[in-house]
């Protein structure tokens, strides 16, 4: 039994891990529960750094950059982060739990039954993504200074579709922002190749236009 499996049902700070729903080379994603007053329980998602990476100062700072950025964002089409912390040496973010599928999973489900997305549905999804990006690109900090945020990874796995039909952007882990302490290393490609703007692929400077390119790539894929 893996270490993560042994933790299911055991308190993780003020949270209780219920199910591991994703994992990668850098972190794990859990469906979890937060205990509130008067027996109130709130479903959340915990994004946790893998133990060996918690000892990498540069990686931890990059992870905390994501948390610092996302706690400042407040928009109906951006998944909110409401807690950033460390428990027993493991750094984590706590964010809203959205019941639904990401756009990659939804697209796979449609292909499974040989059904195409209606153009009107694609337009609706892209409208919500565009509203979120307009907010993100124009965000200012508490002092009124532009935050200069670029997501840099607009792609189906980072677009959640709720059962209510809402679309929310997630994962600002490779976002670029003025407030970041740690920037990507020169020459390092970040993002998913099929959705990256030419300037990202060639190692140039990304901008809000890079995200707009990603929106177009996603729309093209869904429509074709």
Q: Which residues are bridge partners to 161 per DSSP?
A: 101, 167
Q: How crowded is residue 82: how many other Cβ atoms within 10 Å of its Cβ?
A: 13
Q: What does the alpha-carbon distance between residue 167 and residue 164 come to, in Å, rounded to a whole number?
A: 9
Q: Which residues pair with 102 in a beta bridge?
A: 160
Can 153 be counted among the known catalytic residues? yes
150 in Cβ contact with 215 (< 8 Å): no
Tell me how crowded residue 61 is: count the other CB atoms within 10 A of its CB.
13
188-199 burial, b for 16+ CB within 10 Å, e for fewer?
eeebbeebbbee
Handedness of CA 80, 83, 88, 91 (dihedral sign): positive
**Continuous H helices in 113-151:** 119-137
CB 43 within 8 A of CB 21: no
d(C-alpha 155, C-alpha 218), whole Å: 6
Considering the candidates 56, 65, 143, 153, report the single residue annotated as catalytic: 153
**Percent helix, strand, coil in the chain (nearest 5)?**
35, 25, 40
Active site residues: 153
């Amino acid at each position: 039994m893996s270490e993560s499996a042994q933790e299911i049902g055991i308190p993780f700070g003020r949270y209780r891990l219920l199910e591991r729903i994703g994992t990668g080379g850098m972190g794990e994603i859990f469906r979890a529960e937060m205990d509130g007053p008067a027996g109130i329980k709130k479903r959340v998602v915990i994004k946790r750094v893998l133990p060996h990476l918690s000892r990498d100062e540069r990686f931890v700072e990059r992870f905390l950059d994501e948390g610092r950025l996302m706690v400042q964002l407040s928009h109906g089409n951006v998944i909110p982060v409401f807690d950033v912390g460390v428990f027993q040496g493991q750094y984590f973010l706590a964010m809203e739990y959205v019941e639904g599928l990401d756009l990659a999973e939804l697209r796979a489900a449609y292909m499974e039954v040989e059904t195409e997305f209606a153009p009107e549905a694609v337009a609706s999804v892209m409208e919500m993504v565009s509203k979120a990006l307009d907010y993100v690109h124009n965000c200012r900090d508490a002092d009124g200074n532009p935050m200069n945020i670029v997501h840099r990874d607009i792609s189906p796995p980072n677009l959640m579709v709720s059962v209510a039909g809402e679309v929310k952007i997630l994962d600002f882990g490779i976002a670029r922002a003025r407030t970041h302490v740690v920037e990507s290393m020169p020459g390092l490609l970040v993002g998913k190749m099929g959705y990256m703007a030419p300037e990202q692929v060639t190692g140039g400077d990304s901008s809000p236009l890079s995200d707009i390119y990603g929106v177009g790539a996603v729309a093209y894929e869904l429509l074709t």
